[in-house]
Amino acid sequence: MSAPLSNFGVARDATGAVTMEQVSLASVAEQFGTPCFVYSEAALGDAYRKLDAALKAARNGRPYLICYAVKANSNLAVLNLFARMGAGFDIVSGGELKRVLMAGGDAGKVVFSGLGKTAAEMKLALEADIKCFNIESEPELDRLNSVAASMGKRARVSLRVNPDVDAKTHPYISTGLKNNKFGVAFDRALAVYRKAASLANIEVSGVDCHIGSQLVDDTPLREAMSRIVALADALAAEGIPVHHICPGGGIGIVYRNEQTIEIGAYARALQDCLGDRHVELLLEPGRMLVGNAGVLLTRVEYVKPTETKNFLVVDAAMNDLIRPPLYQAYHEVVAVQPGASAQQTYDIVGPICESTDVLAQGRQLSAGEGDLIAILSAGAYSFVMASNYNTRPRAAEVMVSGSSMRSVRKRETFDDVVAGENI
């Protein structure tokens, strides 16, 4: 381990066993089986409170709203926790809106991102009276105007502008460059805002951007923020004032030993950009609120030494956690119980019939058949990206709180997987 376990929402107790809050991960496996995602309510709450405190201090009485990016982890229990803490939500589908409402979220604090909103999704969101639509193209603006007109409503909008800054993250999760499919080109933004302001069923409400995810340096975020604040000033000068400004999400977490963004300094930098402008500051954080609050618990099925490598074949696979194969992502891995087995270097692989089904490579572990392994930092973009590939039922999700644990999603069964299929 290159960083203390506690950074990842887990710890080792005096006997060497890995615990989350006051619950041993071995007891979670015993009760709920493996593979299993385990989340810490305290770690989720702490992450939210830390961001909230930083924004509160930086804004010093001026308005702000944390709109949690639901896509990172959309379990109802997670959404309910953040809703109770006062969060807003950033959604990207009608389904996510329904989840937020089911979980007790406030539609008045919902922003709707995404570049392919259907008319039905727009209607659903207008019925719920969400705070704002983040619009990504002129055709989308036209469609929203006509959907709102058909309902006799006005839709509040931000344009998600593409500030053309390089987020310097993995290309698959970088979104703010000109050649990305996202957003309205910065050079076009004024013209599209003028058009938006002229539409009868549209009300201009904000300026938005999002340049990428897992950013460990906030320089590109600050650059993007100063560009969108300048755009807001240009709009105000034209008589199109905005009520909120949002630099999106993207704040990186520690997966290994990254020096990532210091949240207090980032909040102050955003405030420096905004000065005394009478606007609300919105953020759309996903990963930073949930990423380090979850682990994927899995059991070793086989130890498989080969001529060149030793493999640990575990019962979790790329259908449960696709981040390593898809983004070459690194997740720390720990043995859950102090084992009798000798330390060895292993590749940790799943049972799926693909060479890419590798969850971690070259890790020093003491683990044998039947032992439990925890893959850390699996709270964000993990269960939500799971599939049924190889007819593998999706894993259970468990919430730990203090000394208690509860199921927040039961393990799928084979019947769940084939439900809806016909011959």
Residues that bind ligand LLP (CB under 6 A): 69, 72, 90, 113, 173, 210, 213-214, 248-251, 284-288, 323, 327, 381
Q: What's the angle, vertex CA 404, arms to CA 401 and CA 410, rounded to 5?
A: 90
Q: Angle, to 10 degrees, between the axis of helix 138-150 and the axis of helix 119-128?
A: 60
Comparing CB distances to ligand LLP, the nearer of 35 and 114 is 114
- The CA-atom distances, in angstroms, between 64 and each of 175, 204, 267 are 24, 18, 11
Q: Name the token pair of 422.
A: 């016909």
CB 242 within 8 A of CB 236: yes
The sign one gets for the Cα dihedral 119, 382, 284, 258 is: negative
Residue identified by tokens 């919430």 is 399
Which C-beta is closer to ligand LLP: that of 155 or that of 313? 155
Q: Which CB, 213 or 292, lies closer to ligand LLP?
A: 213
DSSP H helical segments within 199-295, as ranges?
Answer: 219-237, 263-274, 287-290
Give me the least distance between CB of 378 and ligand LLP, in Å please: 10
Closer residue to ligand LLP in complex, CB, 69/229: 69
Task: Give the nearest distance from C-beta 226 to ligand LLP in angstroms.
Answer: 19
Bridge partners of 155, per DSSP, are: 202
| Cβ-based nearer residue to ligand LLP, 180 or 407 | 180
Of 164 and 284, CB closest to ligand LLP:
284
Q: How far is the CB of 341 from ligand LLP (least distance, A)?
A: 31
The residues facing 344 across adjacent strands are 365
Q: How far is the CB of 319 from ligand LLP (least distance, A)?
A: 15
Q: Environment class of residue 55 by beta-carbon count within 10 Å: exposed (0-12), middle (13-18) or buried (19+)?
A: buried
249 vs 325 by CB, closer to ligand LLP: 249
Nearer to ligand LLP, 93 or 226 (CB): 93
Q: Is 246 a catalytic residue?
A: no
> What DSSP character marks residue 395?
P
Residue entry with tokens 């299993």:
36
Q: How far is the CB of 288 from ligand LLP (least distance, A)?
A: 6
- State how far the Cα of 139 lies from the Cα of 380, in Å rounded to an integer: 32
Q: How buried is 170 (Cβ within 10 angstroms: 0-12 exposed, 13-18 middle, 19+ buried)?
A: middle
414 C-beta neighbours (distance < 10 Å), count:
10
Pick the catalytic residue: 67, 209, 273, 353? 353
Give Cα separations from 329 to 35, 78, 85, 326, 376 (angstroms).
Answer: 19, 23, 30, 7, 12
Q: How far is the CB of 258 from ligand LLP (least distance, A)?
A: 13
Edge to edge, what strands does the sheet with 11-12 contain? 11-12, 18-20, 23-24
Q: What are phi and psi of 67, to 5 degrees?
A: -105, 95
Smallest separation (angstroms) from ligand LLP to the CB of 113: 4
Smallest separation, CB 208 to ligand LLP (Å): 8
**Residues annotated catalytic, as ranges:** 353
